[in-house]
Chain A
Amino acid sequence: MDISHILKLSKLELNKKEKAKMEKEFSNILDFVNKLQEVDIKKEELSEEIKNSNIFREDEVVQVSEKQKKLLRDSALNLKDGYFKIKKIL
């Protein structure tokens, strides 16, 4: 199977050798998960029980320590005036 489109959607690229290996593995994995198609469950049977309820909190601004701010800033590739700087998109 050709995996070029899935790679593109996944924002990944592989060289020729890696791609050939991945195509084989990916098709084995798809065969394996395709076992699900044997199960006959209608849409309306979707169990209520898996719908966990969220427990919300107030959306309040919290103070972050200077040390934590520094760690966050230092992780960024390129920060300018508190904003992430990237190459132009359009």
Chain B
Amino acid sequence: MTIIELRNKLKNKQVSSFEITQEYLQKIKKEDKKIHSFLDIYEKDALEMAKRADKILKENPHPHPLCGIPCAIKDNILIEGHITTAGSKILENYISPYDATVIKKLKDAGVVFLGKTNLDEFAMGSSTENSAFGPTRNPNDLNRVAGGSSGGSAAAVKSDFCVFALGSDTGGSIREPASFCGVVGLKPTYGSVSRYGLIAMASSLDVIGPITKTVEDAKIVFEAIRGRDPMDSTSFDFIPSEKQIKKIKDLKIAILKEGISDDVDPLLKESILRLKKDFKNDVSKIEIVSLPSINYALPTYYIIMASEVSTNLARFDGIRYGKSADPKEYLNVDEFYIKTRSRFFGPEVKRRIMLGTYSLSAGYYDEFYSKACRVQGKIISDFKKLFSKFDLLILPTSPYPAFKLGEKIDDPVQMYLSDIFTVPINLAQLPAISIPFAKKENLPLGLQIVGPKYSEDKIFNFSKFIMNSK
């Protein structure tokens, strides 16, 4: 069920939030064993929230559009009084002491939280196989991955275990699982949604966004969670510009040349090329455009992201919160840190901490971190040039459909390549959506639509047009 469908049902009193919440909880309990999209289910709390929402729906003639709608939250976003694991053993028992800003906003809107969804440990991964609590399976094919790191959220939305979900995206973690599962995922402009209460991975790239069944729903959730927050100094007030709402026939569309290379699934490549013909008369211009610096985006991303990871994860010391090594065994603090971190961090987290530490260390800083920042600047200015001539850019979300469980887990570099088309967007801080676009047998393939900063409305409009013209 979509937000709009349920909102109408609630409005017409065909169903109460309490009844629908009960239905969802039962469905999760019955069917999630085979998918493993949830890490925690809020049975009691969800029903209480639903009761409160029903009261608002009864008394308020103009409730928030999300009032009484059951959703799921990625388990790296804090909900006060509940455990937030970030998919890691080190936070297995960590109880959130406060609400993330997005949670506060959704609570104020009257949203019902069904529980927390699975993710790669600290959101580091492209398959949810790095979760310390076991992988999430793809609802379209149980032998395949759901994508990652927001694999639990995408699989839960696809399975209709919730109406919508929140994810977080640092290098593709909303869009890639949305593509693999066949749902809609929005990575908003960096800073448009507060990061307060999101467990930090790479702070200059992290952003929270919605995973939904339709583009219309993604817009509703985005509008509910965005805006400046005094607790996040990089957040800003989002004022959509009237100018950006162009008519479809006035749009200038670029198709990324690197996105239709031979490394891309042939079916996806053909489907994208077909758009050029199909939309020729619908839009003002549709052309294939090359962005050569995109070829350096992945190594740039891995250095910048890992550097920030190594500093952000230094906070896990076993002293203030999280799991700890046995303090009786160790005499000095340094050894205590080492034992705690080595015991409770998983292999991918360790790899990224090491890569970041290396990139920032004396003698390597100029060659790695500083160089990566310069290449990031080049990528940003190349995107800027492109968007001075075009309104939107289209490219694949991932080069291929969901891969098999275990297929890439032993080869970190192969795993990183799944995000080749999503990481450049994070580096440039741009908004992008992934929409279900093509199908290879039963496996969905996503299309990514990117725009300049703050162009979410333009992205929504064109995405709706693509979905409707299929």
| B233 touching A33, Cβ below 8 Å | no
Residue of B at shortest CB range from A55?
A: B233
Residue B42 CB within 8 A of the other chain: no
- Distance in Å from the Cβ of A46 to the closest Cβ of chain B? 5
Interchain CB contact (< 8 A) of A52 among B234, B319, B331: B234
Q: For residue A50, give the distance in angstroms from its CB to the closest CB of chain B.
A: 6
- Residues in A with CB closer than 8 Å to B358 are 6, 9, 30
The total of chain A residues at the interface (CB under 8 A) is 51
Q: CB distance B98 to A68 under 8 Å?
A: yes
Cβ contact within 8 Å between B300 and A36:
yes
Complex interface residues of chain A between 28 and 87 (CB less than 8 A to chain B): 28-30, 32-39, 41-43, 45-47, 49-50, 52, 54-57, 67-68, 71-72, 74-78, 84, 86-87
B375 close to A46 (CB less than 8 A): no
**A35 touching B341, Cβ below 8 Å:** no
Contact partners of B451 in chain A: CB under 8 A: none
Inter-chain contact B380/A84, CB cutoff 8 Å: no
Report yes or no: A36 in contact with B371, Cβ–Cβ below 8 A: yes
Are A49 and B380 in contact, CB atoms less than 8 angstroms apart? yes
Within 8 Å CB of A35, what residues of B? 296, 299
Known interface pairs A39-B378, A75-B320; A29-B302 also in contact (CB < 8 Å): yes
- Interchain CA distance A76-B355 in the complex, whole Å: 29
- A6 with B357, Cβ < 8 A, contacts A46-B374, A47-B377, A76-B320 known: yes
Task: Give residues 314-336 of B contacting A (CB, 8 Å).
Answer: 314, 318-322, 324, 327, 330-334, 336
Query: Given the complex, which residues of A lie within 8 Å of B367, measured CB to CB?
Result: 37
Q: Report which of A29, A42, A89 forms a contact with B351, defined as CB distance below 8 A.
A: A29
> Is the CB of B403 closer than 8 A to any CB of chain A?
no
B231 and chain A: residue at smallest CB distance: A57
Size class of the contact patch on chain B: 35 or more
For B236, list chain A residues within 8 Å (CB): 55
**Interface contact A78-B381, CB-CB below 8 Å:** no
Q: Are B416 and A32 in contact (CB under 8 A)?
A: yes
Partner of A45, one of B94, B228, B331, B377: B377
- From B94, B98, B302, contact of A32 by CB (8 A): B302
Which secondary structure dominates where chain B touches chain A? Answer: helix
The answer on a CB contact under 8 Å between B373 and A12 is no
- Residue of chain B at shortest CB distance from A32: B413
Task: Say whether B384 faces chain A, with CB atoms less than 8 Å apart.
Answer: yes
What 0/1 pattern do residues 285 to 303 of B give for CB contact below 8 A with A? 0000000000010111011
Pair A29/B413 contact, Cβ less than 8 Å: yes
Q: Is B337 an interface residue (CB 8 A)?
A: yes
CB-CB under 8 A from B412, the residues of chain A are 25, 28-29
Which residue of A13, A30, A50, A86 is within 8 Å of B333 (Cβ)?
A86
Of chain B, the residue at the smallest CB distance from A73 is B97
Instruction: Report chain B residues within 8 Å CB of A84.
Output: 319-320
Query: Does B342 belong to the interface (CB within 8 Å)?
Result: yes
Taken together as a complex, chains A and B put the C-alpha atoms of A6 and B362 apart, in Å, by: 11
- Nearest A residue to B379, CB-CB: A47
Nearest-CB residue, chain A, relative to B417: A32
Asked whether B81 is an interface residue with its Cβ less than 8 Å from the other chain, the reply is: yes
Kindly provide the distance from the CB of A63 to the nearest chain B CB, expressed in whole angstroms: 12
Per-position contact with B for A1-42: 1 when CB-CB < 8 Å, else 0? 001001101111110001000100110111011111111011
- Listed in ascending order, the chain B residues whose CB lies under 8 Å from chain A are 80-81, 94-98, 191, 204, 228, 230, 233-236, 296, 298-300, 302-303, 310, 314, 318-322, 324, 327, 330-334, 336-339, 341-342, 345, 347, 350-351, 353-355, 357-359, 361, 367-368, 370-378, 380-381, 384, 412-413, 416, 429
* Chain A contact residues, CB within 8 Å of chain B: 3, 6-7, 9-14, 18, 22, 25-26, 28-30, 32-39, 41-43, 45-47, 49-50, 52, 54-57, 67-68, 71-72, 74-78, 84, 86-89
